[in-house]
Amino acid sequence: MENSLRQVQDNYARIRDEIAEAAVKSGRTPEDISFMAVTKTVAPELVNCAIDCGISLLGENRVQEYQSKKDAYRQGIPVDFIGTLQSNKVKYLIGNIRMIQSVNKLSLAQEIDRCAAKHNIKQDILLEVNIGGEDSKSGMTPETLPSLLEQIAEMPNVRVCGLMTIPPPSEDTRFLEAMQELFLKTKEIQLPDTEMSILSMGMSGDYAQAIRYGSNLVRIGSALFGARNYQK
Ligand SMILES: *Cc1c(COP(=O)(O)O)cnc(C)c1O
């Protein structure tokens, strides 16, 4: 069941405190960590409640759902796209979305570059890494990442700002650790006009751990809004 406004307020306060604690434990400040609210299936009323609490970044998974809900959200709040994206839908995002976090292949980056050129903008993106090497998941592997990064960094209308990942479920922290290592290694590659400052890692179940392994953007859905109901 979706949460009430009161539950969202309580959850927000609790998660914000846990993020702050994990930030300090890893030698950073709470302001160093972005707390994204993931809005899939969530009623705009609850999303706006989270914004009123202090959320300043939203994450959307589906182009159609984004389009149908965006006008109901408080205006002026940046939205990132975090879901699987087909090239033919890129055109609906460019000019509206702050960042596309789920760039998982070269052809998608090429389409983003092409659409961004039409809008005369440079589109910020993250590269999605399949850190567990799972067949079921999209994303670049640690092996293919460096060469793809070099090719994408050359695109004039795309700016690579960092990495995103959805690690496989795990009893231990090995994938978080591997991702931190990969992020640090990738930052050392010298590339034109590329900052590599964002590591988007951590969801409802593992955000505090993810921050301890270097994440500076956590994407939180169910811990904030309650369990999702996909039937609606
Ligand atoms: C749904 C989703 C999340 C949030 O998941 P929760 O476990 O509900 O916090 C984060 N990132 C991506 C890419 C998602 O699709």
* Domain CATH number, residue 167: 3.20.20.10
For a ligand 1 pocket test, name from 82, 128, 131 the mutation site with the most ligand atoms within 8 angstroms of its C-beta.
82
Q: How far apart are CA 89 and CA 73, in angstroms?
A: 21
- 231 lies in some domain: no
The residue segments making up the domain with residue 102 are 2-225
Ligand 1 pocket residue status of 220, Cβ below 6 Å: yes
- 85 lies in some domain: yes
- 135 lies in some domain: yes
Q: Which atom from ligand 1 is nearest to the alpha carbon of 164?
A: 13
Q: Which atom from ligand 1 is nearest to the alpha carbon of 220?
A: 9
- 8 Å CB contact between 160 and 146: no
Identify the pLDDT of residue 2: 61
For a ligand 1 pocket test, name from 203, 218, 220, 225 the mutation site with the most ligand atoms within 8 angstroms of its C-beta.
203
71: which 2 tokens?
Answer: 């006008």
Q: How far apart are CA 114 and CA 96, in angstroms?
A: 16
Identify the pLDDT of residue 232: 56
Question: Whose Cα sits closest to atom 7 in ligand 1?
Answer: 204
For a ligand 1 pocket test, name from 38, 102, 201, 228 the mutation site with the most ligand atoms within 8 angstroms of its C-beta.
38
Residue 177 burial class via C-beta count within 10 angstroms: exposed 0-12, middle 13-18, buried 19 and up: middle
Ligand 1 pocket residue status of 79, Cβ below 6 Å: no
Specify the DSSP class assigned to residue 3: P
Q: Which atom from ligand 1 is nearest to the alpha carbon of 36?
A: 10
- 230 lies in some domain: no
Q: Which atom from ligand 1 is nearest to the alpha carbon of 222?
A: 8
50: which 2 tokens?
Answer: 């989270």
Q: Which residues of the chain have pLDDT under 70?
A: 1-2, 232
Give the phi and the psi of residue 163 in degrees, each rounded to 5: -125, 150
Identify the pLDDT of residue 56: 97
- 109 lies in some domain: yes
- 84 lies in some domain: yes
How many residues appear in the chain?
A: 232
| Core vs surface per residue 47-71: b (16+ CB within 10 A) or e | bbbbbebebebbbbbbbeebeebbe
52: which 2 tokens?
Answer: 């009123």
Number of domains making up the chain: 1
* Bridge partners, residue 90, by sequence: none
This prediction has a pTM of 0.96
- 20 lies in some domain: yes
How far is residue 110 from each of residues 135, 187, 208, measured CA to CA in Å? Answer: 23, 22, 34
Q: Which long-range contacts link 218-221 to residues 24+ away (Cβ below 8 Å)?
A: 218/19, 218/33, 218/34, 218/35, 218/36, 219/36, 219/38, 219/59, 219/82, 220/15, 220/35, 220/36, 220/37, 220/38, 221/37, 221/38, 221/39, 221/40, 221/42, 221/59
User: Any alpha helices (H) in 54-89, and if so which ranges?
Assistant: 63-69
Ligand 1 pocket residue status of 222, Cβ below 6 Å: yes
Q: Which long-range contacts link 176-180 to residues 24+ away (Cβ below 8 Å)?
A: 176/201, 176/206, 176/209, 176/210, 176/212, 176/213, 176/215, 177/213, 178/131, 178/142, 179/129, 179/131, 179/213, 179/214, 180/213, 180/214
